[in-house]
Structure 1
Amino acid sequence: MDKKPRILVVDDEEVVVDSLKGWFSEDGYPVGVARSGKEALARMQEGPWDIALVDIKMPGMDGLEAHRRLKELDPDLLVIIMTAYASVETAVQALKAGAYDYITKPFDPDDLEHLINKAVEQRRLKAENAVLKERLSEALPFDEIVGQSPAILGVVEQVKMVAGTDATALIAGESGTGKELVARAIHAHSPRRGMPMVTVNCGGLAEGLLESELFGHEKGAFTGAQYRKKGKFELADGGTIFLDEVGDVSPKTQIDLLRVLDEKKVTRVGGTQPIDVDFRVVAATNRDLHQMVEAGQFRLDLYYRLNVYVIHLPALRERPEDIPLLAEYFLKRHAQTMRKRIERISPEAMGLLMAQTWPGNVRELENAVERAVVVGSGPGLRPEDLPFRAAPKAETDLAPRSLSAAERTHIARVLQETGWNISQAARLLEIDRVTLYNKIKKYGLERDGQG
């Protein structure tokens, strides 16, 4: 079981001190109290504290000064400011000075518990981050960008060139070409590598949800907003934010996004106070942003803001010489994960892989190899293990015409290939088990394949 963090309560009000000490003690936290800023500084000598709750209004040394002095003694201390509603503005000043968060009096026990849990998680992630930072300095460079073609080697050189700067990078390429992998390589070799890289899938969320995800929200900002939530820009403070499929952002959110990129300040949904943030932007798109600008679908000023250094990722069909290297790489990874002794790809199977056009690019190739490892028995992958045949054109006339018929045929084939292992089949089909069970029932599929 994880050790409970030590909490120091700093407040001159006896009722607040007693209440908080009682709550935390009941939950098993080691807790200490100080009734002034001066006493809090003295208690810091007793050993490391993990979290300090500090009242903003105290006689003598106020909360802002106490916060500054406490952080001087222990930079890793997480300070939560306690404030009356009238002094929220002062609490925001403390946030700008490095306080973790603030909470208003009178306290809601649920809000306080939620805030402490978040602070504990933040401290854990920070400790893990320090370890990862050390490991990153020893990591082999670019070992996940697989290939020896001139096209992919050119991409690696571009990554090396831009990674050491703080310039905005835009990664352009078809779906499945490895845009997020390149974004992670940029971050891992940048001066910000010790801080988080935060990913936002701009195309996967509705406009309102994307705003809350990017900028955060205050408690009560909308129905269901039970707690204050930091947005992705705040979470990426000091690190990198990766805006995936940025071409899918709505016109309204484009305006807000441009403002944040220009000012390096965010205002949470439902909030009024701007919060300073420091981040590096890496964006990706599978769309032609210049064409979207001309069509009036993407803001020109945002386009210029993102289009600082562009890396074009080649489609897999443009670097076929990399297919054997990629296939072997994916074979080794998935055979190891599934604990199967499959060590090579037969020449016939490799010929089939080389013959495909791969509209889904590297992601489709990995999916095909993974499926082959699922059904293969080793020691090498054979053509019959792959999810396609040597002469697909001969089967064209037999292909199902309707979408539902095609789906039924595809699901039946995957079930047959996996020996009706529902978990494996659902993973290959990229759906959950419940959805797969529903489709089996819908299409009347039976284990003998005759449904």
Structure 2
Amino acid sequence: MSQLATNKHISQETSRKVLYVHLAPGDNIATCLKDWQVVQANSVNEAQLALDSNRFQVALAHIGKLNDKQRGDLERLVENAPPLNWIALIEPEYLNNDITNELIYDYFFDYYTLPLKDKAPYLCATLGHAWGLGRLREQEDDLRRYREECQMVGASPAIRLVFSQIRKVAGVDATVLITGSSGTGKELIARAIHQRSQRCKGPFVALNCGALPENLIQAELFGHEKGAFTGAHCRKIGRIEAAGGGTLFLDEIGDLPLSLQVNLLRFLQEETIERLGGNETLYIDARVIAATHRNLEAEIREGVFREDLYYRLNVLSIEVPDLKEREGDIELLANFFFRKFTEGRHHRVRGFSRRAIAAMNCHDWPGNVREMINRVRKAIVMSENRLITAADLGLGGTQDQVVPTLEEARNLAERQAIRRSLKKTGNNVSLAAKLLGVSRVTLYRLMEKHQLANVR
């Protein structure tokens, strides 16, 4: 079995490693890299072993003339390797081959022609530059993973206010109501609250109240005893009981049937439940966080949501802004999801074109962050370009998505402000006018101008 060779001519102080994949006949340049710890592999299989057992920021590959199988093996090696910068070494005569040129263009950070002669110092400088970029990428990935874990993605005033509210709410063991449009990330905010609370070591149990038929929600929430109903062959612990010591997240609480709202209210008041079909009273210590895209105050007036339950849930509240209201966050989020979906994989795409960024900034994002995730993920897979275009994102050509005029921007800002004030006040025009600092007559005129009636 062949062994991986390691260059011994290195300073004891150096810690920079480079993988040298020597696939073509010719001079071995490992001895030229005196300030590097060189791990040499003489085949793709040996290179894979080296990648499995070492951590590299940069790699050299002497590719020479490759047949179809060798080229395919090298491509798979690079694609499956952890993120690192590859530098090609090749004889000049092989650069006349279009397939080889495409291979270098698609997969390599840089290339040098052989023999090196007096170019060795320049190669070492390029290696150092690539190694440094790799370290920066690694640090950024660590920071990104931390942000992803904490769900702290965004820099706009609107989302920074939400982050501030998360920190405040997390320290208080009370029920929380999170409101906002679909796709804005309400469950992520609930998880962030849980992760920062004293209950962080306990379970986080989620239930979508709108995803189950009415006859199943009670059993899911409160559990059931064996024989409680047809098909109940054994005892089942409900979501409330499973969340003991932790947090229960009730998504789309506005979809909870009116007949079950009284049962949830009793748990919030007394912190006790009874399993369906049982008579044992169980004390459950669980914090409840609820979320909805509905206007619960309007639903109270319509008689489809209990007012007493609303006030029990709305002890603390967080309103999540729509993506279009998060000025400056769209590009940041797009790059965040791009890195998330490409990390550890090789893709032809390297990011977004400036026209794609402009198109995203002009898009209204009715599906909010969930829509962005879908568009970015699809574009990464389907794009045949080096940079994702507006068309790849399904946003059409960018010629029609130019910077809006001042009049258009003013109208958009007015619509957003009116919608938010009406939503916050439950369509009470007098209160909304006070929030906006205008008269009722002016607000009515603006509502007519922007064709806004009741906002939900």
Identify which of 204, 210, 215 aligns with 1:203: 210
Identity %: 47
Q: What's the offset of the Cα at 1:342?
A: 2.9
The 1:337–1:206 alpha-carbon spacing in structure 2 relative to 1, beyond 3 Å, is: farther
8 Å CA contact 2:349, 2:388 repeated in 1:
yes
Instruction: Give the structure 2 partner of residue 328 of structure 1.
Output: 335
RMSD of aligned C-alpha atoms? 2.0
Instruction: Give the structure 1 partner of residue 225 of structure 2.
Output: 218
Q: TM-score by structure 2 length?
A: 0.54
Instruction: Give the structure 2 partner of residue 382 of structure 1.
Output: 389
Instruction: Give the structure 1 partner of residue 359 of structure 2.
Output: 352
Identify which of 267, 271, 282 aligns with 2:274: 267
Aligned mates of 2:167, 2:285 — CA distance in 1: 22
Deviations along 1:59-103, one digit per CA (max 9) or x if unpaired, are: xxxxxxxxxxxxxxxxxxxxxxxxxxxxxxxxxxxxxxxxxxxxx
8 Å CA contact 2:167, 2:193 repeated in 1:
yes
Aligned mates of 2:179, 2:337 — CA distance in 1: 23
Instruction: Give the structure 2 partner of residue 285 of structure 1.
Output: 292
Q: TM-score by structure 1 length?
A: 0.55
Deviations along 1:398-417, one digit per CA (max 9) or x if unpaired, are: xxxxxxxxxxxxxxxxxxxx
Deviations along 1:350-369, one digit per CA (max 9) or x if unpaired, are: 11111110111111011111
Kindly provide the amino acid, as one letter, of the partner of residue 387 in structure 1: G
Identify which of 258, 278, 284 aligns with 1:251: 258
8 Å CA contact 1:349, 1:383 repeated in 2:
yes
8 Å CA contact 1:332, 1:343 repeated in 2:
no
Q: How does 1:85-104 map to 2 (within 5 A)?
A: none
8 Å CA contact 1:324, 1:350 repeated in 2:
yes
Deviations along 1:143-187, one digit per CA (max 9) or x if unpaired, are: 423111100000000000010110111100000011000000000
Aligned partner of residue 230 in structure 1, secondary structure: coil
Instruction: Give the structure 2 partner of residue 303 of structure 1.
Output: 310
8 Å CA contact 1:167, 1:280 repeated in 2:
yes
Instruction: Give the structure 2 partner of residue 417 of structure 1.
Output: none
Aligned partner of residue 241 in structure 1, secondary structure: strand
Kindly provide the amino acid, as one letter, of the partner of residue 169 in structure 2: V
Segments of 5+ residues of structure 2 without an aligned counterpart are: 1-144, 402-456
Q: Is residue 153 of structure 1 aligned with residue 160 of structure 2?
A: yes
8 Å CA contact 2:180, 2:186 repeated in 1:
yes
Q: What's the offset of the Cα at 1:338?
A: 5.6
Aligned mates of 2:269, 2:332 — CA distance in 1: 42
Give the aligned length: 257
Aligned partner of residue 318 in structure 2, secondary structure: strand
Kindly provide the amino acid, as one letter, of the partner of residue 176 in structure 2: A
Q: What's the offset of the Cα at 1:208?
A: 1.5
Kindly provide the amino acid, as one letter, of the partner of residue 358 in structure 2: G
Aligned mates of 1:248, 1:359 — CA distance in 2: 21
**Larger RCO, structures 1/2 (Cα 8 Å, 6+ apart):** 2
Instruction: Give the structure 2 partner of residue 173 of structure 1.
Output: 180
Kindly provide the amino acid, as one letter, of the partner of residue 343 in structure 1: R
8 Å CA contact 1:289, 1:303 repeated in 2:
yes
Identify which of 373, 377, 380 aligns with 2:380: 373
Deviations along 1:267-309, one digit per CA (max 9) or x if unpaired, are: 1111111111100011100001111111111101101100111
Q: How does 1:187-202 map to 2 (within 5 A)?
A: 187-202=194-209
Aligned mates of 1:141, 1:355 — CA distance in 2: 26
Q: How does 1:46-85 map to 2 (within 5 A)?
A: none
Pick the structure with greater CA Rg.
2
Aligned partner of residue 328 in structure 2, secondary structure: helix
